[in-house]
Structure 1
Amino acid sequence: QMARRRPGGPTSLVLCATALLLALGVERALALPEICIQCPGSVQNLSEVALFCKQTPKLMLYARCCFNQKGAILGLDLQNCSLKDPGPNFPQAHTAIIIDLQANPLKDDLVNTFHGFTQLQTLILPQNVSCPGGISAWNTITTHTDKQTCQGQRNLCNSTGSPEMCPENGSCAPNGPGLLQCLCADGFHGYKCMRQGSFSLIVFFGILGSTTVSIRILLWETQRRKAKSS
């Protein structure tokens, strides 16, 4: 007869150790950005962020965020977090497709808050807060009794007159809801993309280094003279 394995035998210990290492590995892999944990609790099951995350393959919910397999934030739910503004960590969610900020005492002007949020397609706000960029920045804006939904971010570079705002050697690019930026063409840089050639970091740091050394020598000479006079 074969001896029965005890519950606390070597095999059980190995399994427990493996499970612990896996748990630690998952937690380390999900070193959460501060924006995901700045508000207590987790995403509610019936929230639009949760529904988006569960309906999209290979996404996972953790704390207040919905992540893809690469760890990028695709959904952020900060509803009912007593926020007057999204806070300094908000740019960590610039890759988000859907963001929910309803039920917060937010200030109305949020345009500059969404610099770089070029992937954002659904933004849910308190009813009294305007969609950043206004109607020209979104395909549809729907007002409900307790919230406002901004849907389908528009590329303003496709609007009449927008490309002309960039210089001859630059091109228009979206930079978030209602925001644009001008990108210099290859081989151009500087003010209005008027300088030709690549930007030389060696020259820049060379000038910076020589200036720093000169200032240090000047300060040392001044201190030496003061010491002699005293």
Structure 2
Amino acid sequence: MCSIMAAPSWLLLCLLRGAIAAAPASEPGPPQVCSACCAGSVRNSSAVAAFCGARTGAQLLGRCCLEREAVVGLDLGNCSLHQLCPCFQEASTAIVIDLTINPLEHLPEDAFRGFTQLQTLALPAELDCPGGSNVWENITTQGSNRICHSQRNSCNGSGGLGWLCPEDSLCAPDGPGLHLCLCEGPYHGYKCLRKGNFPYLMFYGTLGAVTTTLSILVWVTQRRKVKAL
């Protein structure tokens, strides 16, 4: 799959997130994927436990191995999962994931979109490694488990997906067998067909008005809550 992302779109997304983050909010807790998908803790027999123990500063929390509050390891083995839980994307920074001993019926094509750092993925033997065999340096079978080792860059090599990107764009990896096409230079918009300077004045003017309105709305809402208390 391929999606076209222009630089200004990223700017808009980041700035909107910044505006939301600036609003009064409670202190964020640990990622939900560490406990919401499966109860218990990382199993001693899981590769996640060994991986986490070898990394200085990493700590176990629920089913996760965390490093600077980011998920670097996720053990959802033996959790009776028929499908991946809704918050699975919170583990997109993971390097090691264990999904063994689960009756998983299917992995959606873009289930691992954004998992660019994933290097070890353990699956039930009935499932294929996401993206296919060409996406991984090595695939092994150990009993009832299939282990996908060392994710390759989907944009590199003769079989890479870079040819799917339009002119004036660059291919960027976006997970096993997935990629993004990022507009280059002065090009922007749909399929990077528009050329010229992006209308920053209009863009930031509109964004500023929207941000101000949202901030006032949040402030009024918070004031009402405080008065109600």
Q: Which residue of 2 aligns with 1:179?
A: 178
Q: CA RMSD in A?
A: 2.3
Partner of 1:99, secondary structure, is strand
Q: Which residue of 1 aligns with 2:32?
A: 34
CA offsets 1:8-53 (integer angstroms, 9 cap, x no match): xxxxxxxxxxxxxxxxxxxx98821111002110001231001000
How far 1:200 moved relative to its partner? 4.8
Which structure has the higher relative contact order (CA within 8 Å, separation 6+)?
2
Q: Which residue of 1 aligns with 2:148?
A: 150
Task: State the aligned residue count.
Answer: 179
How far 1:81 moved relative to its partner? 0.9
Quick check: 1:173–1:181 contact (8 Å CA) kept in 2?
yes
Corresponding position: 1:74 with 2:45: no
Q: Which residue of 1 aligns with 2:56?
A: 57
Residues in 2 aligned to 1:94 and 1:203: alpha-carbon distance in whole angstroms: 30
Residues in 2 aligned to 1:145 and 1:54: alpha-carbon distance in whole angstroms: 25
CA offsets 1:172-210 (integer angstroms, 9 cap, x no match): 11110011111111432111111122265835996xx9x
Matched letter for residue 170 of structure 1 = S
Quick check: 1:108–1:128 contact (8 Å CA) kept in 2?
no
Quick check: 1:75–1:96 contact (8 Å CA) kept in 2?
yes
Q: Of the candidates 82, 89, 98, which is equivalent to residue 84 of structure 1?
A: 82
Greater percentage in helix: 1
Corresponding position: 1:48 with 2:21: no
Matched letter for residue 50 of structure 1 = A
- Taking structure 1 as reference, are residues 44 and 100 closer, same or farther at Cα in structure 2, changes over 3 Å only? same
Mapping of residues 186-205 of structure 1, within 5 Å: 186-196=185-195, 197-198=197-198, 200=200, 202=202
Quick check: 2:98–2:123 contact (8 Å CA) kept in 1?
yes
- Taking structure 1 as reference, are residues 204 and 67 closer, same or farther at Cα in structure 2, changes over 3 Å only? same
Quick check: 1:76–1:99 contact (8 Å CA) kept in 2?
yes
Residues in 2 aligned to 1:199 and 1:66: alpha-carbon distance in whole angstroms: 43
Residues in 2 aligned to 1:201 and 1:113: alpha-carbon distance in whole angstroms: 38
| Percent identity of equivalent pairs | 46
Partner of 2:60, secondary structure, is strand
Partner of 1:57, secondary structure, is coil
- Taking structure 1 as reference, are residues 88 and 159 closer, same or farther at Cα in structure 2, changes over 3 Å only? same
Partner of 1:89, secondary structure, is helix
